């Protein structure tokens, strides 16, 4: 099985989720450091749709740029635009497999798509 993790190596939950994926038998992991290779707005919209999450649920509201842009009550479209422009706003890690997409918070949440 193939799994893609949208990863930030500075994040402990992202590192824990990556370790869980690497330890899972038969899982071929692709690491995408989204701060270096940001997803497009369309990629984000598709990921959240597959995860059953709204963009607002995937927003790192505590980031300074989220506050500066006034995203607390923003529309999903505005949030997606902001995430595409400022990938630090993307809650991590997101894991994608053929079975779906999960936010690895907690890391064990990804087991359901392995």
> Annotated active-site positions, please?
11
CB burial of 31-45 (b: ≥16 within 10 Å; e: otherwise) equals bbebeeebbebebbb
Q: Cα(67)–Cα(60) distance, rounded to whole angstroms? A: 10
At residue 57's C-alpha, the angle toward residues 59 and 95, to 5°, is 85
Distance CA 4, CA 95 (A): 6
Burial of 10 (0-12, 13-18, 19+ CB in 10 A): exposed
């Amino acid at each position: 099985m193939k799994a893609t993790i949208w990863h930030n190596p500075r994040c402990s939950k992202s590192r824990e989720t990556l370790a869980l994926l690497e330890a899972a038998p038969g899982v071929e992991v692709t690491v995408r450091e989204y701060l270096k290779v940001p997803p497009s707005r369309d990629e984000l919209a598709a990921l959240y749709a597959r995860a059953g999450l709204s963009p607002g649920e995937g927003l790192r509201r505590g980031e300074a740029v989220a506050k500066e842009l006034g995203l607390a009550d923003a529309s999903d479209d505005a949030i997606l635009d902001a995430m595409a422009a400022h990938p630090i706003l993307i809650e991590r890690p997101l894991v994608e497999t053929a079975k779906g997409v999960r936010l690895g918070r907690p890391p064990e949440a990804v087991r359901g798509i392995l």
